[in-house]
Amino acid sequence: MEAVTLDRAAATDALVSVRDLTVRFVSKEATVHAVNGVSFDLAAGEVLVILGESGSGKSVSLRALMRLLPARKTVIEGDIRVAGQDVLAMAPRALEDFRGGVVSMIFQEPMTALDPVFTIGTQIAETIIRHEGISRAEADRRALELLELVQVPSAKRRLGNYPHELSGGLRQRAMIAIALACRPKLLLADEPTTALDATVQIQILLLLRKLQQELGMGVIFVTHDLGVAGEIADRVAVMYAGRFVESGMVEEVMKRPLHPYTQGLMGSTVHAGLRGVRLAAIPGAPPDLARLPPGCAFAPRCAYAEEACRAAVPAEKRPVPEHMARCIRIAA
Ligand SMILES: Nc1ncnc2c1ncn2[C@@H]1O[C@H](COP(=O)(O)OP(=O)(O)OP(=O)(O)O)[C@@H](O)[C@H]1O
Ligand SMILES: [Mg+2]
């Protein structure tokens, strides 16, 4: 009884609290079960990295947190609270203030998020004006500060540049500046460094880590790269077929992965230098999300699978506090 009360208290304090999130895409042909009961909390100032193969539901989960999924044909259920606000109940106007003001997102390819016909300076300033209604002069001043904050060299001159005039790394910095323009409490990052070459990737990662600490932001960061996770994460969650199959503090999960899927992903790379190491390939393919099996979705690829694995989705087990995995082989 007491545990339940404590749990509730923790959930209220959290910057992000997600409970039993499911996302389905319904069409005449099929229902795609993209997210299937995801629950987690994130404290202010914490970095959660979501790891998983292509198609495991990482981007859909991030988009759900900002209600950025196509309204038609998308069924979202569960509970999402960000900074105390009930995201799934939000009216359109409130949602507009919420996006950018409380939570913002950076993407893998900045060209898709930046507008080619406006200068970087205008795009940053307009974002601030839209949310805060301040004067253009004041917004321009803040835009310069922001470009300096994300360490763009010759920031004043760069304000007048169009996106195509910038290198990939500078464009990514400009997108981060826009995302930070209204001082969000939560930053969502969907593979923001994968399109960049290795050196620039590391610079952007270090920048994000620094900004996150200075601004005390919560960050949810999606990546395929174990090295990136090791570099930036406080916590990691491993996603498979729309579920978190394992989560915990990064050192703990990397040192003692509990789920056979996580163990497979880490392969033999766990103790080697991790930077740039993509997730190890595991034989077999992920399940068709339109035809999810009733039990553990990893069972068809799992060397340890037994009958019970195919009967029902394994419950969450926590052999040590804060380290969760869904596998029937785990005692506790
Ligand atoms: N709007 C949509 N309509 C129908 N299906 C969708 C839609 N958006 C995503 N999906 C499906 O949902 C599943 C999860 O997609 P998601 O983009 O979250 O994967 P991901 O883990 O981000 O993969 P990647 O690492 O390749 O980016 C995929 O099967 C995808 O095809
Ligand atoms: Mg994705």
Please give the number of the atom of ligand 1 that sits closest to the Cα of 56: 21
Rounded Cα–Cα distance for residues 304 and 156 (Å) = 59
Please give the number of the atom of ligand 1 that sits closest to the Cα of 69: 1
pLDDT in tens, 203-245: 889 999 999 999 999 999 999 888 889 999 999 999 999 999 9
What integer is the mean pLDDT of 116-120?
96
Per-residue pLDDT at 331? 84
Whether 55 lines ligand 1, by a CB cut-off of 6 Å, is yes
Instruction: Give the distance (Å) from ligand 2 centre to CA of residue 65.
Output: 14
Rounded Cα–Cα distance for residues 330 and 33 (Å) = 26
Whether 57 lines ligand 1, by a CB cut-off of 6 Å, is yes
Looking at per-residue pLDDT, the higher value among 280 and 52 belongs to 52
If one residue of 26, 32, 36, 112 were mutated to test the ligand 1 pocket, choosing by the most ligand atoms within 8 A of its CB, it would be 32
Please give the number of the atom of ligand 1 that sits closest to the Cα of 289: 29
Instruction: Give the distance (Å) from ligand 2 centre to CA of residue 316.
Output: 25
* 298, burial (CB in 10 Å: exposed 0-12, middle 13-18, buried 19+): buried
If one residue of 23, 24, 25, 36 were mutated to test the ligand 1 pocket, choosing by the most ligand atoms within 8 A of its CB, it would be 25
Tokens of 244: 């978190």
DSSP, residue by residue, 190-223: ESTTTTS-HHHHHHHHHHHHHHHHHHT-EEEEEE
Q: What share of the chain is helix, strand, coil (3-state, %, to 5)?
A: 40, 25, 40
Per-residue pLDDT at 2? 41
Tell me which residue has tokens 């035809």.
Answer: 291
Per-residue pLDDT at 88? 97
Per-residue pLDDT at 6? 42
The residue whose CA is least distant from atom 11 of ligand 1 is: 34
Per-residue pLDDT at 272? 46
Tokens of 47: 């970095």
Helices (H), 14-74: 58-65
Which residues, other chains included, contact 179 with Cβ-Cβ below 8 Å and sequence gap of 6+? 104, 105, 106, 187
**8 A C-beta contact, residue 106 and residue 176:** yes
Ligand nearest to the CA of 75: 1
Whether 237 lines ligand 1, by a CB cut-off of 6 Å, is no
Indicate if the pLDDT at residue 3 is higher than 80: no
Per-residue pLDDT at 278? 61
Mean pLDDT taken over the chain = 90
Indicate if the pLDDT at residue 108 is higher than 90: no
Ligand nearest to the CA of 285: 1
Per-residue pLDDT at 7? 45
Per-residue pLDDT at 227? 86
Report residues near ion ligand 2: CB below 5 Å: 59
Helices (H), 33-77: 58-65
What proportion of the chain, given as a percentage, has pLDDT over 70?
A: 92
The residue whose CA is least distant from atom 9 of ligand 1 is: 60
pLDDT in tens, 299-327: 999 999 999 999 999 999 999 999 999 99
The residue whose CA is least distant from atom 14 of ligand 1 is: 57
pLDDT in tens, 257-298: 999 999 988 874 444 455 555 666 788 889 999 999 999 999
What integer is the mean pLDDT of 88-95?
95
At residue 250, φ and ψ (nearest 5 deg) are -60, -40
Per-residue pLDDT at 195? 82
Indicate if the pLDDT at residue 8 is higher than 50: no
What proportion of the chain, given as a percentage, has pLDDT over 90?
A: 76
Indicate if the pLDDT at residue 248 is higher than 80: yes
pLDDT in tens, 124-181: 999 999 988 899 999 999 999 999 999 999 999 999 999 999 999 999 999 999 999 9
